[in-house]
Homo-oligomer: A and B are copies of this chain.
Amino acid sequence: MRTSRLEAFSDGVLAIIITIMVLELKVPAGHRLTDLVHTTGVGLLTYLLSFVYVGIYWNNHHHMFHLVRRIRGGVLWANLALLFCLSLFPFTTAWMNDSRFEPTPVVIYGVNLLSAAVAYFVLQTVIIRQQGPESPLRQAVGIDVKGKISPPFYLAGILSALMIDRSGWAGVGIALACYVGVAIMWIIPDRRIDRVFRQYEAQD
């Protein structure tokens, strides 16, 4: 089976996830700039963070399936599992905002990030296994520094929000720094994948 319709369906789901989060932004009751900052300010920043994360997953998904020619059943379900994890972002983002960054919602947001990373890794592994020993995806992924670094950072964020100074801001601050830091790391272009990718294209 070709990948075109799976890509189209995933694009559709990701486009909807990235867009409906804006429906969670609360319109201020007042009409001054302070009302906007107070009601929506923090929500806008977390919306931006979740938007960037969905963008990163779309970007990586796009690159990954460019190296896939044919798929079988397992990939469909691994892909749906990834989409399910990502579809919870609007919910976990909304709870984190509504609570004004209480530790538990910040932890749950981190768990959501972690579950999406795990689902992405599972999807990647299923594809590599189906492609066999000559898998172009395995070559492109290589040692996968970013993929290996991200989950420990999410975990560090989750643990610091869980344990450090639950009545203050230190733990939550460290957690948010971890989540933002991983996002920034992914935006920086990955020349290694690009190189293997271009070789594969050239052979093709």
Contacts and interface: CB of A to CB of B under 8 A. Distances in A.
Number of identical protomers:
4
A67 B25 CA distance: 36
Interface string A58-92: 11001100100000111011001001100110110
A15 interface: yes
A87 B5 contact: no
Given A36-B108, A99-B31, A9 B87 contact: no
A77 B59 CA distance: 9
Interface in A8-46: 8-9, 11-20, 22-23, 25, 27-28, 31-33, 36, 40
Summarize A's interface: helix, strand, loop or mixed.
helix
Given A15-B12, A22-B87, A23-B90, A73 B194 contact: yes
A34 to B, nearest CB: 9
B104 A51 contact: no
A52 B25 CA distance: 22
A20 B20 contact: yes
A31 B90 contact: no
B88 A31 contact: no
Contacts of A108: 36
20 contacts: A1-B197, A5-B7, A8-B8, A9-B11, A9-B14, A12-B15, A13-B15, A13-B19, A16-B19, A18-B83, A22-B91, A25-B91, A27-B95, A31-B98, A31-B105, A32-B104, A40-B91, A52-B80, A55-B77, A73-B189
